[in-house]
A and B are shown apart, each in its own frame.
Chain A
Amino acid sequence: MAQIELHAAGVTVPVQGTSPSECSGPGGSGGDGGDTGRVVLHPTTLTLTEHRVAVVGANGSGKSTLARLLNGLVTPTTGRVVVDGTDVADDAAAVRRRVGFCFTDPSAQLVMPTCVEDVELSLRRTERDPRARREQALDVLRRFGLGRHAHDSVHTLSGGQRQLLALAGVLATEPSVLVADEPTTLLDLANTRRVGELLLGLPQQLVLLTHDLDLARRCDRALVVADGRVVADGPAEQSVASYVAAVDAQA
């Protein structure tokens, strides 16, 4: 498995009226704004080596920011993020080659007109020969049960098929880690199960942000994020139970 390390990595975003340079401090404004910007993730130190890591927490808790740190979509304003020895700040492109990312809404992720062309777009990085690229793309689509739809418009697919296609596009280049940001939130029950099973069965390391606590419980480890902090971290059953207890206590 890959090794992802966060060394006091935190993210502060500018609030209106402040410039980004004013926001590079370690934060401390309590997450709700202040002179130095808004802290979306307090300095966090973690090492992720487990096969499947779940991240749960309320909307707006900082889960997505944490996930985006892992493949360089967001650079930490403090601290460092290191994936298999490569610092994201030094070589974000190299980290992105290792860490695939799947978004909640596949529509934003699918940019080519047909399914096979979208997977081919991902493969451009690894395969220069168009003929070999097409064969590989068709093979990937078959593996994801989308072989029949290879030449269909991405707009005619169902929501579940679209998310499968987005996953196919990301996994086509065989990254060693997949970060999935609420990949089942927009799906119906049958597709949630299908995509969930597929994710949990992947040979790659998986960092799964989800509101589906059944999926989270089946991971090897779970982090609970609240107000920009990791408030619980441990075996999935235990962390999820603490999350449920915290939500119950607030209700």
Chain B
Amino acid sequence: MNAPTLLPLHQPGDSPLHRLPVGAKVGGLVVFSLAVVLTSGALAAGAGVLVAAGLAALAGLRPGLVLRTLRPVLLTVVVVGLLQWLFEGPAAAAETALELLALALAASVVTATTAVNDMLDALVRWLGPFRRVGVRPDRVALAFTLALQSLPGTLALALETRDAARARGLGRHPRAYLTPFVVRVVARAHEQGDALAARGLGDESP
């Protein structure tokens, strides 16, 4: 199974961005994303792309790696851009495409410079105050992180199910792959739940 990962994996390194605390990176990403979405005009969106690309360079990310992992996002950018061009004209198309690109690049910088376990630690810390109202920070953080991590796995299951439907000569009818796909996703969730329980994850004291 060779699953697409959507965003780059953690690339160990020693850049200023690698050393930055998780909170600063996530906070920065929120502020940057809001700025990109709230400002209007292709010029502002272009500036956003330049800033994000500059950050990627500062983090020492290889352009090839970023382009490879962002390929599904880039395809979406192209399709959305073309539709925008048709309905809204070239200026709006450029703005939307550049905004999407800036957001994807900035998110890539965060995922590539932050280990998932560091992100988990940060989430557990942030959720700490909610312990008093019965929230189990370890469990919530784990669930949140797993939800993000399971996207590539779910995509891989979708591709496998589609191939299986094709191999059996079942045409393009959605039922031929949607039903088995849902069944497989639920089965995988059960297996993963068992595996996490077996590893004692989620058993942490409240």
Q: With A111-B196, A151-B12, A155-B3 as known contacts, state yes or no: A130 contacts B116, CB within 8 Å.
A: no
- Interface of chain A residues 178 through 232 with chain B (CB within 8 A): none
A73 touching B2 by the CB < 8 A rule? no
Partner-contacting stretch, out of B52-60, B73-81, B167-175, B197-205: B197-205
Partner-contacting stretch, out of B38-46, B126-134, B187-195: B187-195
For residue A52, CB closer than 8 A to chain B, the reply is no
Least Cβ distance of A4 to chain B in Å? Answer: 15
Contact of A112 among B3, B149, B203, B204 (CB under 8 A): B149
For residue B10, CB closer than 8 A to chain A, the reply is yes
A156-B115 Cα distance, complex, nearest whole Å: 18
Q: Name the residue of chain B whose CB is nearest to the CB of A72.
A: B197
Q: Which residues of A contact B188 (CB under 8 A)?
A: 108
B199 touching A117 by the CB < 8 A rule? no
For residue A100, CB closer than 8 A to chain B, the reply is yes
A155 touching B156 by the CB < 8 A rule? yes
A151-B10 Cα distance, complex, nearest whole Å: 8
Q: With A113-B10, A155-B156 as known contacts, state yes or no: A170 contacts B116, CB within 8 Å.
A: no
Q: Name the residue of chain B whose CB is nearest to the CB of A103.
A: B195
B198 touching A71 by the CB < 8 A rule? yes
Least Cβ distance of A58 to chain B in Å? Answer: 22
Q: With A93-B203, A125-B203, A130-B117 as known contacts, state yes or no: A117 contacts B10, CB within 8 Å.
A: yes
Least Cβ distance of A135 to chain B in Å? Answer: 13
Contact string against A for B residues 97-118, beta-carbon threshold 8 Å, 1 for contact and 0 otherwise: 0000000000000000001111
Contact of A73 among B117, B197, B201, B204 (CB under 8 A): B197
For residue A51, CB closer than 8 A to chain B, the reply is no
Contact of B194 among A73, A125, A156 (CB under 8 A): A73
Q: Which residues of B contact A113 (CB under 8 A)?
A: 5, 9-10, 116, 149, 152
Contact of B198 among A96, A133, A134, A151 (CB under 8 A): A96
B1 touching A107 by the CB < 8 A rule? yes
Query: Which size bracket describes the interface of B in this complex?
Result: 20 to 34
A155 touching B116 by the CB < 8 A rule? no
Least Cβ distance of B202 to chain A in Å? Answer: 9
A153-B5 Cα distance, complex, nearest whole Å: 9
B198 touching A108 by the CB < 8 A rule? no
For residue A122, CB closer than 8 A to chain B, the reply is yes
A121-B117 Cα distance, complex, nearest whole Å: 7
Q: Which residues of A contact B33 (CB under 8 A)?
A: none
- Interface of chain B residues 116 through 151 with chain A (CB within 8 A): 116-118, 120-121, 146, 149-150
- Chain A CB count within 10 A is highest, among B2, B199, B200, B201, for B200
A109-B2 Cα distance, complex, nearest whole Å: 16
A109 touching B195 by the CB < 8 A rule? yes
Q: Name the residue of chain B whose CB is nearest to the CB of A150.
A: B12
- Interface of chain A residues 95 through 132 with chain B (CB within 8 A): 96-97, 100-101, 103, 105, 107-109, 111-114, 117, 120-122, 124-125, 130
Q: Which residues of A contact B194 (CB under 8 A)?
A: 73, 103, 108
Q: Name the residue of chain A whose CB is nearest to the CB of B196.
A: A111
A sample of 20 inter-chain contacts (CB < 8 A) reads A73-B197, A73-B198, A96-B203, A97-B200, A103-B191, A107-B1, A108-B191, A108-B192, A109-B192, A112-B116, A112-B117, A113-B5, A113-B9, A121-B117, A121-B201, A122-B199, A125-B201, A151-B11, A155-B5, A155-B152
10 shortest interchain CB distances as A-B pairs:
A108-B191, A101-B198, A93-B203, A109-B195, A96-B200, A120-B117, A155-B3, A113-B9, A117-B116, A108-B195
Q: A121-B199, A170-B199 are in contact. List 17 more A-B contacts (CB 8 A).
A: A71-B198, A96-B200, A101-B199, A107-B1, A108-B188, A108-B191, A108-B195, A111-B192, A113-B10, A117-B115, A121-B116, A121-B120, A121-B201, A122-B201, A124-B201, A151-B9, A173-B200
